[in-house]
Every structure is written in C-alpha cells, then in structure tokens.
C-alpha cells in the first residue's frame, strides 16, 4: 500500500495532511526520509514508520476504546445532539469508524468503535455470544435469590420476547452487575423494569475480553493495543491477518 494511504488509514491525519508531512521530510521508513507520498510499503508491520521522529504503527483497521460520558448519542452524526464522534480525533473519524452496538444517551462507559465491518458485525451479534458487563444503580427492593435465578433462566419481557440467560450479581448499596451477551434496545433497563425495579444509572465496564481502561477519563479515548485487538478478534473467532492489525 502507498505510504500516504497507509498512514491516513491508520488515523494519523487526512491524506493531504500526511502528504504535506511527507513532502516536508517528516516521515521516515526503515530510517530513510521518504519524500514520495506514493512510496510502496511492504505491508503493515513490515517496516518501521516514523512521523517527526515518533514511531507510528500501521493498522489494517482501527478499533477505538471510548469512555462514553452521559449526554452524547451513540452515532457518528446527529442534527441536534452531541455525538460520540465529537469526542474523537477527526483523523480517526475520517477512517470510517462505526460504533459497536449502542449505549443510551445517559449510559456511560466502555464503547468500542471500529472501521472493521466484520469485527463490528460479529461483536454486535448474539450469535458470537460476547459478554458485556454493566454496573447499575437502581431504585426498588433488594434483589433476591429468586431474581438471580430468573435472570439466569432467561427473562421474558412484557412484550413476550424471551431473553438469553444473564448473570445478575447484586452488590451492596443499591448497586448490581449484570452480564449479558445480547444487545437489544434498552435491554438492561427493560430487564430491570420487568423485575419491578428502575435503573437510575448505567455504566458498562467490560466488553468481551476488554475492560474499560481506568486511565481514560469520561470522554477520553485511545486505540486498542495490539494485544487487546488480538483478544477481541479471538473472542469472535477471526483469524489474524498476515501482517497483524
Ligand atoms: N441496556 C440499556 O438499557 N441501555 C444501554 O445503554 C445499554 C444496555
């Protein structure tokens, strides 16, 4: 792949920004300054690329972990409301990131975004059974062993929809954790309401093998590390691409 495209696809700037850096002699490949934006790269991870002296990993695809704050919608654009895209560097957004599933506007925590369509599809599909763990605060009576058993057996919503087994773990002080491997619309809130309680705060801290990075403040994001990407892909049985991702 051409140098300028590989760097733009990896989220380091727009094609024109990258070309400018290349022409200014700011980009090296395997230690050599390259001034030709069309310079052919051997493939991701085949050569060390540096921009202004800093090593830059090349990705076939970009996957981002965002600590979603309350108040923004899980969409890349919206005519009225702030979106998760507003929180990300524009160079990442331009690579075609799409949220993996959806968190409600008032829900906080771990949201993944990726421009890898297959990965996105598998992570969001109940077929692959990726667990998500939510911590929630609720109003209503304390949970009983009977409630825990009902979640484990699979609840039926008032509209007749039968849900897959889920794990409810009551904590003290009006807090509980819920592990799910589905992602239906308002699922946690509807499950809790079906059992006579009301969610007052909802936060997702785990998505499959990934836990929200505690160094990410609300609204902050980072690219997944190579190990995290590998674990995520393994969770949905995607083979590693030849040159890594
Ligand atoms: N379940 C919900 O009810 N809301 C979310 O944002 C996520 C899961």
Answer yes or no: is pLDDT of 204 > 70: yes
* Cα-Cα-Cα-Cα dihedral sign, residues 232, 238, 242, 245: negative
CATH of the domain at 224: 3.30.70.580
For tokens 């801290």, name the residue: 205
Question: What's the average model confidence in pLDDT over 147-174?
Answer: 96
- Average pLDDT of the chain is 92
Domain tally, the chain? 3
CATH of the domain at 181: 3.30.70.1560
The whole-number pLDDT of residue 45 equals 55
Give the model confidence (pLDDT) of 60-114 as tens digits.
789 999 999 999 999 999 999 999 999 999 989 988 999 999 999 999 999 999 9
- Residue 101 CA: nearest ligand 1 atom is 7
The verdict on the CB of residue 189 being under 6 Å from ligand 1 is: yes
The whole-number pLDDT of residue 245 equals 44
Same domain for 8 and 114, yes or no, is no
**Residue 95 covered by a domain:** yes
Q: DSSP secondary-structure letter at 150? A: H
The answer to whether 104 is a known catalytic residue is yes
The verdict on the CB of residue 110 being under 6 Å from ligand 1 is: no
Same domain for 146 and 197, yes or no, is yes
Same domain for 83 and 113, yes or no, is yes
**Residue 244 covered by a domain:** no
The whole-number pLDDT of residue 242 equals 44
- In whole angstroms, what is the distance from residue 142 CA to residue 156 CA? 20
- In whole angstroms, what is the distance from residue 138 CA to residue 176 CA? 8
Same domain for 122 and 169, yes or no, is no
Confidence of residue 44 (pLDDT cuts 50, 70, 90): low
Answer yes or no: is pLDDT of 46 > 70: no
Same domain for 33 and 49, yes or no, is yes
**Residue 243 covered by a domain:** no
Same domain for 191 and 216, yes or no, is no
Confidence of residue 244 (pLDDT cuts 50, 70, 90): very low
Active site residue: 104, 139, 159, 177, which one? 104
Domain of residue 93 covers 63-126+208-235
Distance (Å) from CA 51 to ligand 1 centroid: 40
The verdict on the CB of residue 161 being under 6 Å from ligand 1 is: no
The whole-number pLDDT of residue 27 equals 96
- Residue 191 CA: nearest ligand 1 atom is 3
The verdict on the CB of residue 188 being under 6 Å from ligand 1 is: yes
- In whole angstroms, what is the distance from residue 160 CA to residue 162 CA? 6
Answer yes or no: is pLDDT of 24 > 80: yes
Name the pairing type of β-strands 132-139 and 98-99: unpaired
- In whole angstroms, what is the distance from residue 184 CA to residue 204 CA? 14
The verdict on the CB of residue 221 being under 6 Å from ligand 1 is: no
- Among protein residues, the one with the nearest Cα to ligand 1's atom 2 is 186
């Amino acid at each position: 792949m051409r140098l300028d495209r590989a760097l733009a696809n990896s989220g380091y700037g727009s094609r024109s920004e990258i070309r400018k850096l290349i022409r200014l002699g700011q980009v090296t490949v395997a230690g050599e300054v390259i001034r030709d934006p069309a310079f052919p790269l051997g493939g991701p991870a085949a050569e060390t690329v540096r921009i202004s002296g800093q090593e830059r990993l090349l990705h076939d695809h970009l996957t981002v972990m965002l600590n979603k704050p309350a108040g923004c919608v899980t969409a890349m654009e919206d005519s009225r409301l702030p979106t998760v895209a507003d929180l990300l560097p524009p160079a990442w957004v331009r690579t075609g990131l799409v949220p993996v599933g959806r968190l409600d506007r008032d829900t906080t925590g771990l949201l993944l975004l990726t421009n890898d369509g297959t990965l996105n599809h598998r992570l969001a599909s109940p077929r692959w059974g990726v667990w998500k763990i939510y911590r929630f605060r609720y109003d209503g009576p304390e949970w009983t062993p009977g409630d825990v058993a009902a979640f484990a057996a699979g609840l039926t919503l008032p509209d007749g929809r039968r849900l897959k087994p889920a794990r409810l773990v009551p904590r003290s002080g009006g807090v509980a954790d819920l592990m799910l491997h589905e992602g239906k619309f308002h699922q946690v809130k509807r499950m809790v309401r079906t059992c006579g309680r009301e969610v007052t705060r909802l936060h997702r801290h785990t998505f499959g093998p990934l836990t929200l990075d505690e160094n990410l403040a609300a609204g902050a994001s980072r690219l997944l590390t190579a190990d995290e990407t590998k674990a995520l892909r393994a969770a949905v049985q995607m083979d590693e691409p030849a040159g890594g991702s």
